[in-house]
Structure 1
């Protein structure tokens, strides 16, 4: 009798534990906080943000939301929110909105997004994003290997809205999947692929967006953000 009671108690305990674990880690997100709550939480976690106005809340999926904002000092920044442990958490804040790459899943390029919030004082017309793999030559075990340059480009207008996000294009994802597979099979991966961007003004001239870079940032280490290189036209090869 005592043995059956112990087994019954253990079964109840396992069921309750499973319910708690599911509730804490896997339950569906509740409604997203209000703009006022977002501002209060951002300034509590990172006082340097001095957030004042939430421009928008942009769901990427049900557990990731991008919230561009304007600070009390009229800086244009970005905040990153994730549903985790049964609550919405701000996992990163940038007081400047320079383009970044947000990797929702670092092992899946299809989950990568370019995000930005450009200060209007920079008067940009568009951003050109690039995926580049430099050409290279090496000799391994007496065999010559040549890697041609790969250059992919995507233009995004920033005239209508200062902020936005863009999922990596399908052809970029296909290339990265092949590239990652090849490099992971090597004993010494080359890591010769990178992302970059060129900002263009109203006259289609490349400029440096001084009001959109060099801000302060906060991160709790739970967000996959990659900085992008600011390129110039000399870094880009024009097909002949």
Structure 2
């Protein structure tokens, strides 16, 4: 980790970042109860998508085992998703990023190294985490993402301002099954099955064993499709 002075935030920044982190738990709960989740803007992340669609977002890849299995699953159910990628992992597995794009999925920026709490980073480090990931992804697939998700959903005015300055749209979520904790397939299914029109679903293909996530989605995707929901990409409604 870079420990240069301009990369280290003052101690109070950590307390502020943690307070914001817990504040967003309450905000997401409120967004889940809304008839239509907020689609966001320059000063607020998007918790939902416009129109009748639902968005499936997948964080923390690419991973050599779980990303291919996730792609096979999505192909089987003919579902488009958005993969929020970590720059260091893009550098290690550019061929997987190319496979994601060639399969018709969208990709987003999820920082270079997934530091937490993200909102506690000093501004130069924060900007570098986002900007470097843009470069890594562009080097891998020849295009620059237009979507960004903060690691851990840890937003702040500085994070949102930097994201907007770099031409990115900030995307949060509405439904979180906490699949990164491996809580059990049934719990992931139950949580994701509550998703409805206009919401953003959060899952993971990196950061650990994601077998529960893959198994759960194999049940959830046809269930949501059977309810008439269509899967869209945040920001474009397609």
Q: Do both proteins adopt the same fold according to a TM-score greater than 0.5, normalized to the shorter chain?
A: no
Q: Which has the higher strand share?
A: 1
Higher relative contact order (Cα pairs below 8 Å, separated by 6+ residues): 2
TM-score, with length taken from structure 2:
0.24
| Greater Rg by CA | 1
Q: Which has the higher helix share?
A: 2
TM-score, with length taken from structure 1:
0.24
